[in-house]
Homo-oligomer: A and B are copies of this chain.
Amino acid sequence: MKPSIPQGTRDFSAAVLRKRNFILQTIRSVFETYGFEPLETPAMENTETLMGKYGEEGDKLIFKILNNGLNNPDKRETVIQDFNAVLEGKTNKGITERALRYDLTIPFARYVAMNQGQLTFPFKRYQMQPVWRADRPQRGRYREFWQCDADVAGSAALLHEVELSLIYTNVFNKLNVPVEIHINNRKILGALAAVCGGEDMMMDITIAIDKLDKIGMEKVKDELIGKGLSMEQVDAVESFISIAGSNEEKLQQLEDMFSHLPLGKEGINELQTILGSFNAIQGNGSSHTQLLVDLSLARGLNYYTGTIFEVKALGVQMGSIGGGGRYDDLTGLFGVKGIAGVGISFGVDRIYDVMEELTAFPESIQKGTTALFFNTGVEEQQHVLGVAEQLRSKGVSCEIYHEQAKFDKQFKYAERKNIPFVVIIGSKEIEAGTALVKELASGTQTEMKLEELLKGLGK
């Protein structure tokens, strides 16, 4: 049997993991300076917790787990009935009761609903865990991938939008990835819908606008006509998307268009407040991360009700590397009403790809073993083990070659593992209390006292 792994999944070796963990650790440290606390939820949720939350397409992409003990002969008849239901496209408790986490938002909502009595609101949590989707694998799209979310539940204050924008700014500064943050507000899209055939049309208009980048204006217009919009209404959508200029100019044009509609006015005010506060902190200079009003930004997910965000890397061809927004009702689906919130997400895999392209990963993160002690014999090995233990207790990573072998072979091991120092302690050096230290990059070899070695490599 030739071993393999499931399509769309990956093994992560040390070099890749160190890079990914650098991204995760950077995000984590910024989340924590803003008072977000970690949460982890199980990989499995009850199937009913997940089903129906991601649309019909989403339901199909959820990985369901087969119940154990199906081959109990007593239950055979029931199981066959249950299985027929599965064949009809329904999930069924007899066959599957558990499913793999599809995102981090629904498990978070489930957690808040389950524990609302114990939580302190506003509840600020971050969560960094893999999720699983039965999507067709393709370049950059995996069946197992990491998500990385921060959400505030139980507060309608716009301060959170400002802080989340600052989190994006700080994280991407630390990662050395220049970005711009696109911002819009669903209330403005709601006002547009009201102008174009009623608020019922909001989802259709939103979904069409969301495709603008991919399919272009003409096809967006075709789609809107297909949804029953009049030519006049389609023109209104087009002139809305075409609003251009600086943030201030865009906001001015929006006021002209929507200030007669309370919903529109509210959305415009929210944008103004967030931009004002963010710019007062960040400055308006072009050297800083920009918060850009982007009226074509819609975000496909239908639970957003206010601010929406998307982050784009500058100078790299890549979709959004982060996104999020405000929702009025996080936990309503689980029977708990009135918990509003706002959250953002980091696309870890895409950030990884962007950083590779920009060679933005610091070299220092690829630190493995610092020193390889050569093995020159059984007794020497015991002496060397003592020296290595002292270095290790100072946090210096070192290895002892596992057996006495030709120096060539031992050098090759150090080279292949990118170990910068080789230390040779033979019987002569033991007697003298010294060590031969060779730096592989320069080729320089130094004989030093053991105390020096312990001080020098311990730094």
Contact = CB atoms under 8 A, between A and B. Distances in A.
Interface of A: 1-6, 9-14, 17-18, 21, 29, 32-35, 37-46, 48-49, 60-61, 63-66, 68-71, 76, 79-80, 83, 86-89, 95-98, 100, 110-111, 113-115, 120, 122, 124-125, 130, 132, 134, 143-144, 152, 155, 157, 159-160, 162-163, 166, 170, 277, 280-281, 334-335, 368-369, 381-382, 385-386, 389, 391-393, 395-400, 402-403, 413, 416-417
A10 B42 contact: yes
A35 B399 contact: yes
Contacts of A159: 381, 385, 400, 402-403
Contact of A11 (B41, B166, B395, B417): B41
B6 A98 contact: yes
Contact of A66 (B33, B64, B368): B64
B402 A157 contact: yes
Nearest to A412: B120
Given A70-B87, A144-B42, A35 B162 contact: no
15 contacts: A2-B334, A4-B46, A6-B45, A6-B98, A11-B40, A17-B39, A21-B38, A37-B368, A120-B416, A157-B403, A159-B381, A163-B400, A166-B389, A170-B392, A281-B385
B395 A29 contact: yes
A3 B334 contact: yes
Nearest to A400: B159
Contacts of A4: 46, 49, 114
A310 B299 CA distance: 53
A61 B71 contact: no
Contact of A33 (B61, B334, B396): B396
A281 B390 CA distance: 10
A413 B124 CA distance: 12
A370 B24 CA distance: 22
**Which of A46, A97, A381, A416: most chain B Cβ within 10 A?**
A46
Number of copies: 2
A43 B130 contact: yes
Contacts of A95: 66
Given A64-B66, A68-B63, A43 B397 contact: no
A350 to B, nearest CB: 19
Given A40-B17, A61-B68, A97-B6, A277 B382 contact: yes
Contact of A369 (B35, B125, B143): B35
Given A6-B97, A83-B83, A43 B132 contact: yes
Contacts of A9: 42-44
A95 B2 CA distance: 21
Top-3 shortest CB links A-B: A9-B42, A35-B399, A14-B37
A347 to B, nearest CB: 19
A386 B130 CA distance: 34
B33 A395 contact: yes
A417 B121 CA distance: 10
A97 B7 CA distance: 11
Nearest to A135: B68
A392 B174 CA distance: 13
Contacts of A277: 382, 385
Nearest to A152: B402
Contacts of A83: 83
A402 to B, nearest CB: 4
